[in-house]
């Protein structure tokens, strides 16, 4: 059987956990709180949730369906459904975006590993001095890339699936414990209010772009990760249920992370608008105040590092699956070469945190550092644009009629009632909303 030679998930829960593992990561616990903080809190959360369910879920279903139908990487999958020369470029964009996101994502993932040891040693050095040390910064970055490469060399079922199985339930439980503690802190209620009481006057074009980009980032959409993961699912699987489970699990973890961060943040009097350092500044404070905080903290950063690993694995898997399927490279060769390239692209991000001043604040992009520029260009714009093209590709070029035949395999006739709604969202609402948001780009560069 061709499918099993290429690799396939061993069980239904195996797939859902692996896809949830891709979705759940630093996007939920590092990126969601800091982006929410920068965009005014609760009102942003409302827009974000709307983006996840109205835009993200239809595109998630589209990516999974396309992947399973073709059992191929993004470029191969697109070639399989259209003869056009243009559309495969969307697959190439995904392959490049995967490598580009991995290049800075692994830098931040390295911080989580560093924080495991920092918590054990009760270091009181600030986050700023921690990341400005180039040996620490580059060392952990390389360590994380090597761990990712190690898992991906192992292949789909041995490497990727196994790691995802135990992690998610544990992360969920530890977050519940942290919420219970954070809510008892003095002044926590101000944080709860910031996070849950919307002030819609705070919403502007750039808020909506940030929310939409965050939805794509968090669900691993717009670059073919879910096409690739879908290509390993069996035909017996119900794709609609899978997509809904992944989106719910992902959203739950992100919203819970907010309930830890914001009460604690307001309680210690830090600013919600401080950007990417946010959770790395706040979390150690929580663990310091908490009884038994060292153990809880170590445990938390270990889980966060593993959550990040199941995401970096899916980022690396996209270029690797492309080279294995399309260029007939061995998995090992593909992993080694892509990882080396990612290291080279990631170096400026790693050095932008205080080591090399020229990379620390880039004027023409709103004072973002190099890592911030990468996150904005690839983690937001490129995914959003890729999502637009994928919605048009599956909605109009392949067509939701053909796509829904694949979607309904393994779903049963009851699910055909959902098809018109999905089709309408994918063909009309997704492209329209994304185009309007992207055209509204002005204001983003402030």
Interface with ligand PHE by CB under 6 A: which residues? 22-23, 25-28, 101, 217-218, 220, 223, 225, 311, 314-315
CA separation, residue 162 to residues 168, 245, 292 (Å): 12, 19, 30
Q: Which is nearer to ligand PHE, 174 or 315 (CB)?
A: 315
Could you tell me the smallest distance in angstroms from the CB atom of residue 298 to ligand PHE?
21
The DSSP output letter for 41 is S
Q: Which is nearer to ligand PHE, 30 or 130 (CB)?
A: 30
Could you tell me the smallest distance in angstroms from the CB atom of residue 200 to ligand PHE?
26
First to last CA, the chain: 54
90 within 8 A of 96, measured Cβ to Cβ: no
Could you tell me the smallest distance in angstroms from the CB atom of residue 368 to ligand PHE?
19
- Give the residue nearest to ligand PHE (CB): 27
Closest CA relative to residue 28, chosen from 299, 220, 288: 220
145 within 8 A of 105, measured Cβ to Cβ: no
User: Cα separation of 388 and 429, whole Å?
Assistant: 10
250 within 8 A of 28, measured Cβ to Cβ: yes
Could you tell me the smallest distance in angstroms from the CB atom of residue 221 to ligand PHE?
7
Q: Which is nearer to ligand PHE, 59 or 419 (CB)?
A: 59
The DSSP output letter for 368 is B
- Residue ranges of alpha helices (H) inside 73-200 are 74-81, 88-120, 127-131, 134-153, 162-182, 188-196
Could you tell me the smallest distance in angstroms from the CB atom of residue 434 to ligand PHE?
16
User: Cα separation of 363 and 352, whole Å?
Assistant: 14
222 within 8 A of 59, measured Cβ to Cβ: yes
Could you tell me the smallest distance in angstroms from the CB atom of residue 401 to ligand PHE?
28
Q: Which is nearer to ligand PHE, 150 or 354 (CB)?
A: 150
| The two structure tokens encoding residue 430 | 């997704």
| The two structure tokens encoding residue 234 | 């069996």
Q: Which is nearer to ligand PHE, 233 or 411 (CB)?
A: 233
Q: Which is nearer to ligand PHE, 26 or 90 (CB)?
A: 26
Give CA 379 to chain center in angstroms: 8
Could you tell me the smallest distance in angstroms from the CB atom of residue 166 to ligand PHE?
18
| The two structure tokens encoding residue 309 | 């690993």
Q: Which is nearer to ligand PHE, 25 or 346 (CB)?
A: 25
Could you tell me the smallest distance in angstroms from the CB atom of residue 40 to ligand PHE?
21
| H/E run at residue 282 | helix 278-289
Q: Which is nearer to ligand PHE, 227 or 290 (CB)?
A: 227
SS3 of residue 10 by DSSP? coil
Q: Which is nearer to ligand PHE, 30 or 287 (CB)?
A: 30
Could you tell me the smallest distance in angstroms from the CB atom of residue 259 to ligand PHE?
17
Rg (CA), the chain: 21
Q: Which is nearer to ligand PHE, 32 or 140 (CB)?
A: 32
Q: Which is nearer to ligand PHE, 30 or 195 (CB)?
A: 30
User: Cα separation of 181 and 285, whole Å?
Assistant: 12
| The two structure tokens encoding residue 89 | 């470029």
Give CA 337 to chain center in angstroms: 23
98 within 8 A of 224, measured Cβ to Cβ: yes
User: Cα separation of 79 and 429, whole Å?
Assistant: 25
Could you tell me the smallest distance in angstroms from the CB atom of residue 327 to ligand PHE?
21
Could you tell me the smallest distance in angstroms from the CB atom of residue 169 to ligand PHE?
18
User: Which residue carries 């918590």 as its tokens?
Assistant: 119
């Amino acid at each position: 059987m061709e499918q099993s030679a290429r690799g396939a998930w061993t069980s239904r829960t195996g797939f859902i956990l692996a896809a949830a593992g891709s979705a759940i990561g630093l996007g939920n616990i590092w990126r969601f709180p800091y982006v929410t903080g920068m965009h005014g809190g609760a009102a942003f959360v409302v827009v974000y949730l709307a983006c996840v369910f109205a835009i993200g879920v239809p595109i998630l279903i589209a990516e999974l369906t396309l992947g399973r139908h073709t059992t191929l990487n993004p470029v191969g999958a697109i070639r399989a459904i259209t003869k056009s020369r243009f559309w495969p470029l969307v697959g190439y964009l995904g392959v490049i975006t995967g490598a580009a996101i991995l290049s800075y994502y692994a830098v931040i993932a390295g911080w989580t590993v560093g924080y495991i040891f920092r918590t054990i040693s009760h270091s009181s050095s600030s986050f700023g001095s921690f990341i400005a040390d180039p040996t620490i910064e580059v060392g952990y970055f390389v360590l994380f890339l090597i761990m990712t490469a190690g898992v991906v060399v192992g292949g789909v079922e041995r490497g990727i699936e196994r790691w995802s199985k135990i992690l998610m339930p544990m992360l969920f439980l530890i977050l519940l414990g942290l919420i219970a503690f954070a809510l008892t802190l003095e002044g926590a209620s101000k944080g709860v209010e910031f996070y849950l009481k919307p002030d819609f006057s705070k919403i502007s074009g750039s808020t909506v772009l940030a929310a939409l980009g965050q939805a794509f980032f968090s669900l691993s959409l717009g670059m073919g990760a879910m096409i690739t993961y879908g290509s390993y699912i069996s035909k017996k699987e119900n794709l609609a249920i899978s997509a809904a489970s992944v989106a719910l699990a992902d959203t739950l973890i992100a919203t819970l992370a907010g309930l830890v961060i914001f009460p604690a943040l307001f309680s210690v009097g830090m600013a919600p608008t401080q950007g990417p350092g946010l959770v790395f500044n706040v979390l150690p404070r929580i663990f310091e105040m908490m009884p038994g905080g060292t153990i809880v903290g170590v445990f938390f950063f270990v889980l966060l590092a593993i959550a990040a690993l199941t995401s970096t694995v899916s980022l690396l898997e996209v270029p690797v699956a492309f080279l294995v399927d399309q260029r007939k490279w061995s998995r090992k060769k593909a992993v080694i070469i892509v990882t080396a390239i990612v290291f080279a692209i990631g170096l400026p991000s790693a050095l932008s945190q205080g080591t090399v001043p020229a990379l620390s604040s880039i004027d023409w992009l709103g004072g973002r550092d190099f890592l911030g520029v990468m996150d904005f260009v690839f983690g937001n714009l490129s995914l959003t644009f890729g999502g637009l093209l994928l919605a048009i590709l599956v909605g109009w070029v392949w067509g939701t009629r053909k796509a829904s035949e694949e979607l309904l395999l393994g779903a049963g006739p009851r699910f055909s009632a959902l098809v018109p709604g999905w089709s309408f969202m994918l063909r009309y609402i997704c492209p329209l909303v994304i185009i309007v948001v992207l055209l509204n780009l002005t204001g983003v560069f402030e």
